[in-house]
Each structure stands twice: as structure tokens, then as C-alpha cells.
Amino acid sequence: STVVADTGDIDAIRRFEPTDATTNPSLILQAAQREGRRERLAEIARQATDIDDALDAVAVEIGSEISSLVPGYVSTEVSARLSFDTEATLARARSLIERYERHGIGAERILIKIASTWEGIRAARQLEREGIHCNLTLLFSFAQAQACADAGVTLVSPFVGRILDWNKAKWPDADFSGDNDPGIKSVRRIYEHYKGHGYKTIVMGASFRNTAEIVSLAGCDRLTISPSLLDELAQSEDRLERRLTPVDAETSPPEPQDEAE
């Protein structure tokens, strides 16, 4: 699997040398509080027209620094507040790309991270047509994954940990260890479906709670991993050897799926 750092922490990115990096507003906030950065970011905030403008400016400032350190994509998120508004998501995504271009970074280096709601997926379909690549996040179900693939999005981030968290809260006595982990099962199903039907959308497992989950999904296209879990992996004997079986793409068109989960 291609390793992606789930962080805005520049020192961690230098240390782990990932191919890509993913950020979200909380990770950007943590990164913004780093020593030596406050003055510059305070200046950005002073020039901003409103809070959204300030948040985007800071995200792009940090994202630009990250993009000089990784060879691949940097994911920058459109505020989750806009998750149910296609037009607002489109406007923010285009403005983020314009900001990156002002920093000399082309759209081909950026993934606009958008929640996998119906409105978000519609926005992503349009953005992909405009040459703006998207990372569809907060993806918890097969139905969301199918809609993202049909919309031609560049990458999806199916979550592992939050699915497990929800199931554990609902069925506290159930055994969700190993292959019983519903988050792992969900990502595997999406991966096998995409590969079996020849979808080009990249599958990037996200929201990991421990290294065992990461190792179970080895072989997935990409895995986005926090610095603390990357540290644990580096220290452990576990290796990211392929656990997922690559599936030969079918030549016939995909069968309609029963979405009842």
C-alpha cells in the first residue's frame, strides 16, 4: 500500500516521508499552533475577510508547505459545515484551488476533501469534470462508495475506526476482533468491488485506531495513517505485506447492486 500521513505536522512528514498527506480542519489547527508559525498565521488571519477565509488561507499556507515535502497529493478539506450544500462546496473547492495556484501549486497536486453526502458527491462529480480532483471522506457505507465511483471521483476515504466505534457502542458485548472488525470488512468490500468492476477511483483506508487494522488492510491502494500509528508500525515487527487479494477486473458491465446493508 502507498503510505499517506494523516497530519499537518511538518516534522512528522519530514520524518516519515509519505507519498501523500491528508489534512482536516482539526489537524490544520494543531499544525497552526506550532512554534514559529503563529506570527505568520496571525498576519494571514488579520488580512482575512471572515473566519472561513482565514481558515482556508491557513489550510492552504500549511498545505503548500506540505506539498513541497511530499511527491504526491495533499488533501485539503472543505468545511464540513457545507456538507449538505453542493453550490457552497463547489465555490469553496474552486477558491481553495485558486489559492494553491497563487502559491504556485497546480490542481494536479491537490485533493479537495469533501464529505460523502449526496450533495458532496454531486459537487465532486462537477469538480472532477473541471479537472479538480477530490477525496471523498466520511465514507461509511457501500452505497456511498458506489455513488462516489459512479461520480468518477479520484479517491475515496472509507473509514475504519468510526465504523468500529459505532458498532462497539451499539453492541458492547460483541467480538469485533480481527476479521470481525466491521470497519475492515467495509473497506475490503469496497476495494474488491472497485477492482472487480474496473473502477479507477483510488481506495484509501482511513480512520485507524490501531496497527492491527492497518496491517489487515495491507494491499489497499493507499492507507492514511496518523504519526503516532506510523511510529508504532515502524517499531513493530508488522509489515505492510499484501493481505487484500487483487481482483481481476470483469469485462462485462457491473451488475446493479442491492444496496440494503
Binding site for ligand E4P (CB under 6 A): 6, 22, 24, 137, 157, 159, 161-162, 206-207, 224
Task: Quote the least distance from Cβ 104 to ligand E4P, whole Å.
Answer: 25
Task: Quote the least distance from Cβ 59 to ligand E4P, whole Å.
Answer: 13
Task: Quote the least distance from Cβ 16 to ligand E4P, whole Å.
Answer: 15
Which C-beta is closer to ligand E4P: that of 164 or that of 247? Answer: 164
Task: Quote the least distance from Cβ 91 to ligand E4P, whole Å.
Answer: 22
Round to whole Å and give the CA distance between 100 and 24.
16
* Residue appearing with cell numbers 479520484: 154
Which C-beta is closer to ligand E4P: that of 64 or that of 137? Answer: 137
Which C-beta is closer to ligand E4P: that of 37 or that of 162? Answer: 162
Which C-beta is closer to ligand E4P: that of 161 or that of 196? Answer: 161
Q: Tell me the three cell numbers of residue 14.
A: 519530514
Which C-beta is closer to ligand E4P: that of 10 or that of 247? Answer: 10
| Helix (H) / strand (E) containing 211 | helix 211-216
Q: Taking CB positions, which residue lies at the least distance from ligand E4P?
A: 207
Query: In this structure, which amino acid lies at residue 216?
Result: S
Displacement of CA 236 from its chain's centroid (Å): 25
Among residues 113, 168, 170, 200, the one annotated as catalytic is 113
Report long-range pairs for 118-121 (Cβ below 8 Å, ≥24 apart).
Answer: 118/147, 119/83, 119/84, 119/85, 119/86, 119/89, 120/83, 120/86, 120/89, 121/147, 121/148, 121/151, 121/153
Which C-beta is closer to ligand E4P: that of 8 or that of 249? Answer: 8
Pairing label, strands 155-158, 134-139: parallel
Closest among 195, 171, 194 to 182, alpha carbons compared = 171
Q: Compute the chain's Rg from CA coordinates.
A: 18
**Catalytic residue list contains 113:** yes
Round to whole Å and give the CA distance between 191 and 210.
20
Task: Quote the least distance from Cβ 249 to ligand E4P, whole Å.
Answer: 26
Strand segments (E) across 83-128? 110-115
CB 201 within 8 A of CB 152: yes
Closest among 19, 17, 15, 16 to 4, alpha carbons compared = 19
Task: Quote the least distance from Cβ 251 to ligand E4P, whole Å.
Answer: 33
Active-site residue list: 113
